[in-house]
Amino acid sequence: MDLNYTDSEQAFQAEIREFMAAKLPQRLADKTRDHKRLTKSDMEEWHSILNEAGYLTGHWPEQFGGKGWNAIERTIFDEEMTAANGPRLVPFGLNMLAPVLMAFGSPEQQSHYLPRIANGDDWWCQGYSEPGAGSDLASLKMSAERDGDHYILNGQKTWTTLGQHANMIFCLVRTSKEGKQQEGISFILVDMDTPGVEVRPIILLEGTHEVNEVWFTDVRVPAENLVGEENKGWTYAKYLLVHERSGIAGVGAALSGLEHLKHIAKDQMKDGKPLLDDPFFASRLAEIEVDLSAMRTSNLRVTQAADDGAPPGPETSMLKIKGTEIRQSINDLTRRALGPYAMPFVSEALDAGYNEEPIGPDYANPIAVDYFNHRKTSIYGGSNEVQRNIISKMMMGL
């Protein structure tokens, strides 16, 4: 055991830190720090800057154009990027579809789609959940019927994050109603410009447009867009979910959220002293720090074991639960740190170009909205209840 970074890991950390200092545009860092809304072109710009340096796909294996980073390097990159207020990466192509294509896609799919993900030619979104298939994902109904060298898709997907920006969607579809539900599911890639695809916005409880419904009416998709084998999609779907979950611990986001919380608690005064010095507040903060410090190591243990050849398994469910709970407790304490100034909310102030004086402290406006928005994290990617079922079943045999 050695909890210190090796010389080469330290060098890597210094390299990433320097890169962030030199190449992360101040405008994007400011927006991220202040929780302003990032536009599509903001996100594309940041991806492109990282891609130019090879960092965007640093975690991809070298055979697919990556740098083959190990777990420690991935963690260092994630922490350094969030510490520098780099915008969060859009994961759908980069971290969700790409591993599936690498493991199960045809050589043609790999050579066509992977470079396009890296270069930002395609913006992917995820077609998993349906109105009747949330936690019970395997009950999904959207159909794909074979018609010569095409599939014809009919049905509806929902909770499609940033689908309004996407030109491509990967979907789980039903290709068979025989046997077990899980055995009739296929994984297919759909160009969203195909006739019959319609994206409708869902407005979230804080008034933001982040997710969508995607409707499919007689959408003709070439059969070569099927990933792997027909009716084997559930295997690929689970593989993707496990990958989604290992990033879902969100250590970097938690660390930067905690820093922001401390910054606010130093600025907010209570009885003439910084809130940070208030024993009630300090004990709540300390509890989060204890949890986060342990979770950070749990995350490294799990991801490193995966590097050593153990496929990521139900341990990632623990990371998902703990990671989301910790970030939610940071959001909760941050809203409380603000006192009455958590209440005002001026939506336009989150857009670029808003120049009016802030109401209350300049950091206040997005905090309560973030708290509400982040309630989603214990619901998406397999709700935390589903994660507990996975732990009970897979790890404990219950």
Judged by the rule CB under 8 A, the positions of this chain that interact with other proteins are 129, 132-136, 139, 158-159, 202-207, 268-271, 280-281, 284, 332, 335-336, 338-346, 359-360, 368-369, 371-372, 375-376, 378-380, 383-385, 388
Nearest distance from residue 147's CB to other proteins, in Å? 31
Measured from the CB atom, the residue of 21 and 205 that comes closer to other proteins is 205
Strand 185-191 and strand 168-174: the pairing is antiparallel
Q: Check: CB of residue 213 under 8 Å from CB of residue 157.
A: yes
What amino acid occupies position 230? E
Residues forming a β-bridge with 270 = 273
Helix axis angle for 251-267 and 315-337, nearest 10°, is 20
Nearest distance from residue 78's CB to other proteins, in Å? 25
What amino acid occupies position 321? I
Nearest distance from residue 103's CB to other proteins, in Å? 28
Residue 239 to residue 313: CA distance in whole angstroms:
9
Residue 350 to residue 207: CA distance in whole angstroms:
12
Measured from the CB atom, the residue of 12 and 159 that comes closer to other proteins is 159
Neighbours of 14 (CB within 10 A): 12
Nearest distance from residue 372's CB to other proteins, in Å? 6
Measured from the CB atom, the residue of 215 and 345 that comes closer to other proteins is 345
Measured from the CB atom, the residue of 11 and 205 that comes closer to other proteins is 205
CA atoms within 13 A on the CB side of 332: 11
Measured from the CB atom, the residue of 61 and 207 that comes closer to other proteins is 207
Neighbours of 89 (CB within 10 A): 18
Residue 307 to residue 301: CA distance in whole angstroms:
10
Residues forming a β-bridge with 174 = 143, 185
Q: Check: CB of residue 79 under 8 Å from CB of residue 85.
A: no
Quote the Cα angle for 166-170-176, to 5°: 145
For residue 244, indicate whether it is catalytic.
Answer: yes
What amino acid occupies position 175? T
With H, G, I as helix, E, B as strand and everything else as coil, classify residue 73. Answer: helix
Nearest distance from residue 184's CB to other proteins, in Å? 16
Q: Check: CB of residue 212 under 8 Å from CB of residue 202.
A: yes
With H, G, I as helix, E, B as strand and everything else as coil, classify residue 348. Answer: helix
Strand 168-174 and strand 124-127: the pairing is parallel
Nearest distance from residue 182's CB to other proteins, in Å? 12
Measured from the CB atom, the residue of 134 and 247 that comes closer to other proteins is 134
Nearest distance from residue 212's CB to other proteins, in Å? 11
The active-site residue, picked from 73, 130, 230, 244, is 244
Nearest distance from residue 32's CB to other proteins, in Å? 21
Q: Which of 91, 94, 96, 87 is nearest to 45 (CA)?
A: 87
Neighbours of 394 (CB within 10 A): 13
- For residue 179, CA distances in Å to 43, 172, 247 come to 43, 17, 33
Measured from the CB atom, the residue of 231 and 383 that comes closer to other proteins is 383
Residue 364 to residue 27: CA distance in whole angstroms:
19
Measured from the CB atom, the residue of 85 and 377 that comes closer to other proteins is 377
List the catalytic residues: 244
